[in-house]
Structure 1
Amino acid sequence: MELNDYLVKNESATASVTAFDSVDAISDSKEGTLACTPHRVVYVRGKDVTDISLNGVNSIEYTSPSYPKRYLMMGIGIAAGSLLLIVLGAIFGEIPDAGVFSALFFVLGIPGFIYGIVVLGYGFLLRRAVLRVHTPNKSYEFSSKDTNLDQIGHTIRGYEMRKNSR
């Protein structure tokens, strides 16, 4: 389903952006269109639609594109722990009759270090802006590499200000 197929007659999107409905999504199959109309925020991905009434929006949060900190911490932690195992393997390698322990530490440490580097790289791929829309019942989180994600937030607040000035 496309955004225009979902909108009612004479309703138009005043701001739209390509976005993910998860901060961890990376494939194009998880990508949809996030749009703001005068009455609602709509996210369309395939046959799935999320429809949020602007009357129900309590608050919004926008975070500019940044590296996801949990991937930074996890990647550094795994790589550092694996380096410790490699160092222990080298130390045990110097002790007579400890060859099994030395090999075990290397077998665990080297793939672990590589995995830690992969986690850091994956985090770099997930560097994007995040918009959180909070309602009384649920919070929605959208992320996008598009620099115009903040326009959705500005549009929501613009409609709110216009409604309150009447």
Structure 2
Amino acid sequence: MPVDDAARLTALYDAHAGSVWRYVVHLTGDRTGADDVVQETLLRAWRSPRILEQDPATMRSWLFTVARHLVIDEVRSAHHRHEQAVSELPERARSDDTDALFEAILIEEALATLTPEHRAVIVTAYYGGRSIAQAAVELGVPEGTVKSRLHYALRALRLAFQERGVTQ
């Protein structure tokens, strides 16, 4: 920061910081927050060279207006409206397993509507994580039969879910 800028900023602070700070404290009642508002107000004045060239009375009213707008903006902000100080932290939310339980019951009911052969191929391939070849070996049927049963089992399962009100 050049010497001239530093001197202007120091002069601005010395001349107006105290009165702006008192004004903000009067508006908000928050002494700590007033420091931030004063800093931002003086920074905006320093960034506006035409303001610094005005007479002191006009500059002071401009500073008060800027400070008031900053206070209003803070009050209107979502941060200010939704933040509530509490003496204790709330308990952590625990996950609710109700949805998972209902889904498990729904799947169990839908699987029960399938033929034993279709149910076996679905359970082996999808829930067991087996490939077509592994499922064929485990179930003792050809790979083509596993593919065919999977196709028809999935169609029947989709229909069973639709009958229960489940849509994609």
Bigger RCO (CA 8 Å, 6+ sep) = 1
Q: Larger Rg: 1 or 2?
A: 2
Range class of TM-score, shorter chain: under 0.3
Q: Whose strand proportion is higher, 1 or 2?
A: 1
Greater helix share, structure number: 2
Give the TM-score of the pair, scaled to structure 1. Answer: 0.24
* TM-score normalised by the chain length of structure 2: 0.24
